[in-house]
Amino acid sequence: MDWSIPQINFQLVLPEIIITCFAILILILEPLLSKDKKNLLAHLAWIGIMIAFIANLKLWDLMETTFSDMFIVDNFAIFFKFIFLAGSFLIVLVSIGYLKREEMVHGEYYSLILFSTLGMMLMASSFNLVIIFLGLEIMSISLYVLAGFKRDDLRSNEASLKYFLMGAFATGFLLYGIVMIYGSVGSTNLEEIIKSIAFQKGGTDLLLWAGIGLLLVGLGFKIASVPFHMWVPDVYEGAPTPVTAFISAGPKAAGFAALLRVFLFSFVTIKVDWTVIVWVMAVLTMTVGNVVAIAQSNIKRMLAYSSIAHAGYVLVALVAGKEAGVSSVLFYLLAYTFMNIGAFTVVIALGRKDAENTDLDDYSGLGTRHPWLAIFMMLFMISLAGFPPTAGFMAKFYVFSAAVKSGFVGLVIIAVLNSLVSVYYYLRVVVIMFMRPPVPEAKPISLPLGSVLVLLISTWGVLQMGIFPQSLLALAMLSVSSIF
């Protein structure tokens, strides 16, 4: 029997290799360092992310596949990896102060963040359903642990367990879906799937449709779309706040990366058929997210529902499809990463060791107590609400224009009415901060250097993408050609 190891171009997986190495390095060093030196691991983590970022940069415009066509490096994947790495970088920075405050400086935290990032990167680069599954698992299992990282906090434990149980189900669905698709078309390679569907004359096979449905369930869970959103509020509320911010940015983007790659590449020939389902999903997701967010009195839960609503807007872009739709998703997710992590950073800054202070009432008079913090929060809130001249507006505008371009005017009208609803609860935070009398504070807040950096970087991102979006828009447009 004659067999050989296939040619592998390791340069293409360099960013992933770097992340893995640093994650393992942190794990190895963790028991060797004394307690007060464990902060070094955090620095190791962000340095690793920076190096991976640069390695990723080098791959730009290098459209290639490796590992027997399982792994693809194209601009689409690279753009997504930028989003993941930027998100993880910000989270690592903001976690340094948080872990110190909560007295739980453990090195494996950073290691888990890196592993989770690795999973996302695999999902963005997958050219095979199996790799999507692998990436999703690496990402999710790290997240389950991270969600329960406050070991002696009941809510954190609950969040972790809930996330794990539901996530495990969702992964099961995803795997079933992959199996059925394999059963129908005989391959898990994305390109083979296109060919087989064409051969099937437009995909009339019931097995294929069952597979597509289950795939949508599995990925819909990760992006927090209705009706697979039940875990979101509890997990967001219970998990340590930096982890919540992390979950809301990276994994959601990774879910969309996989969703876009599979649905707009492999299933593009039968788009007309699945568009109906996604259309309904988008409407439900936006509406439920926005309407329920109004009723929340806890800011983490509010942001959880807002994150559901934002998933809905992105689904609008998925319905739109085409180049404009995909590039608007890229732009949107990048903008969302900045504004959401920025908002959570303010939430973290207001917390204490014994009290998280996440009730909306805790924000009363923040504008008087900490004007700068309140101004940052206001900026992120108006960006999330979609006021110009912020990234949130530009991103929404781009998504809606893509949808109008593809002729989904009705969907866009529903979407803008939804963003009207969202204005109410985002501005309520601003009302509470600036228009209510201040509440007395137990202890003065401390703003570690890491958090300040994150706030500044997010603010830069929000304003840059809102006022001078040209360069990033152009980049997002260049990133989608390989899909079509």
Partner 1 sequence: MFNSSILTIITFFPLLGVLVLLVLDKDKLSTIRITAFTASLFNFFISFYLYFNFTSETAGMQFSVKKTWIESLGISYHMGIDGISLFLILLTTFLTPLAILSSWTAITEKVKGYYISMLFLETGMIGVFVSLDLFLFYVFWEAMLLPMYFLIGIWGGPRKIYATIKFVLFTMTGSLLMLVAILVLYFMNYSFTGAYSFDLLEINKIPIPLGAQFWLFAAFALAFAIKVPMFPFHTWLPDAHVEAPTAGSVILAGVLLKMGTYGFLRFCLPLFPNAFMDFVPLFSALAIIGIIYGALVCIRQDDVKSLVAFSSVSHLGFVMLGLFTLNLQGVEGGILQMVNHGISTGALFLIVGMIYERRHTRLIAGFGGLSRKIPVFAAFFMIVTLSSIGLPGTNGFVGEFLIILGTFKTNVVYAVFAATGIILAAVYMLWMYQRIMFGKITKPENENLKDLNWREKIILIPLILVIFWIGVYPKPFFVKMEPSVKSLIENANVKYEENKLFGESFYKNSQQMKQIKKVVSDQWSVTSYMSTIAKNE
Binding residue for partner 1, selected from 165, 417, 449, 456, defined by CB under 8 A: 417
Asked if 474 is part of the footprint of partner 1 (rule: CB under 8 A), the reply reads: yes
Site residue total, partner 1 (CB under 8 A): 31
In the complex, least distance from residue 259 CB atom to partner 1, rounded to whole angstroms? 24
Nearer to partner 1 among residue 86 and residue 465 (C-beta): 465
Asked if 477 is part of the footprint of partner 1 (rule: CB under 8 A), the reply reads: yes
Contact positions with partner 1 (CB under 8 A) in 12-41 = none
From residue 197, give the alpha-carbon distance in Å to each of 221, 253, 390. Answer: 25, 27, 42
Q: What is the Cβ-side half-sphere exposure of residue 277, based on CA atoms within 13 angstroms?
A: 16
Contact positions with partner 1 (CB under 8 A) in 186-225 = none
Give the integer Cα–Cα distance in Å for 144 and 150.
12
Element (H, E) at 72: strand 71-73
Asked if 387 is part of the footprint of partner 1 (rule: CB under 8 A), the reply reads: yes
What are 66's strand-pairing partners? 71
Nearer to partner 1 among residue 202 and residue 388 (C-beta): 388
Cβ count within 10 A of residue 375: 14
Asked if 435 is part of the footprint of partner 1 (rule: CB under 8 A), the reply reads: yes
Asked if 473 is part of the footprint of partner 1 (rule: CB under 8 A), the reply reads: yes
Asked if 380 is part of the footprint of partner 1 (rule: CB under 8 A), the reply reads: no
Cα–Cα nearest to 483, from 313, 327, 331, 316: 327
Angle at 228 between CA 225 and CA 232, to 5 degrees: 80
What is the contact mask toward partner 1 in residues 390 to 409, using x (rule: CB under 8 A)? ---x---xx-xx--xx---x
Nearer to partner 1 among residue 55 and residue 462 (C-beta): 462
Nearer to partner 1 among residue 167 and residue 469 (C-beta): 469
* Paired tokens of 227: 């009706």
Nearer to partner 1 among residue 4 and residue 470 (C-beta): 470
Give the integer Cα–Cα distance in Å for 244 and 246.
5
In the complex, least distance from residue 385 CB atom to partner 1, rounded to whole angstroms? 9
Element (H, E) at 230: none
What are 128's strand-pairing partners? 189
Asked if 389 is part of the footprint of partner 1 (rule: CB under 8 A), the reply reads: yes
Q: What is the DSSP letter of 47?
A: H
In the complex, least distance from residue 434 CB atom to partner 1, rounded to whole angstroms? 6
Nearer to partner 1 among residue 28 and residue 417 (C-beta): 417
Nearer to partner 1 among residue 417 and residue 456 (C-beta): 417
Asked if 176 is part of the footprint of partner 1 (rule: CB under 8 A), the reply reads: no
Give the integer Cα–Cα distance in Å for 207 and 185.
9
Residues listed for the chain: 484
| DSSP character string of 383-431 | HHHT-TTSHHHHHHHHHHHHHHHTT-HHHHHHHHHHHHHHHHHHHHHHH
In the complex, least distance from residue 399 CB atom to partner 1, rounded to whole angstroms? 11
Where do we find the tokens 């979006």? 469
In the complex, least distance from residue 364 CB atom to partner 1, rounded to whole angstroms? 13
Contact positions with partner 1 (CB under 8 A) in 77-106 = none
Binding residue for partner 1, selected from 277, 431, 439, 447, defined by CB under 8 A: 431
Nearer to partner 1 among residue 404 and residue 445 (C-beta): 404
* Paired tokens of 66: 């490796």
Asked if 412 is part of the footprint of partner 1 (rule: CB under 8 A), the reply reads: yes
Nearer to partner 1 among residue 355 and residue 435 (C-beta): 435
Contact by Cβ (8 Å): 239, 300: no
Contact by Cβ (8 Å): 253, 219: no
Binding residue for partner 1, selected from 25, 134, 179, 427, defined by CB under 8 A: 427
Element (H, E) at 98: helix 75-101
* Paired tokens of 64: 């290639």
Asked if 372 is part of the footprint of partner 1 (rule: CB under 8 A), the reply reads: no
Burial class (CB in 10 A: 0-12, 13-18, 19+), 152: exposed
Asked if 291 is part of the footprint of partner 1 (rule: CB under 8 A), the reply reads: no
Asked if 470 is part of the footprint of partner 1 (rule: CB under 8 A), the reply reads: yes
Binding residue for partner 1, selected from 382, 395, 457, 480, defined by CB under 8 A: 382
Binding site for partner 1 (CB under 8 A): 367-368, 382, 387-389, 393, 397-398, 400-401, 404-405, 409, 412-413, 416-417, 419-420, 423-424, 427, 431, 434-435, 469-470, 473-474, 477
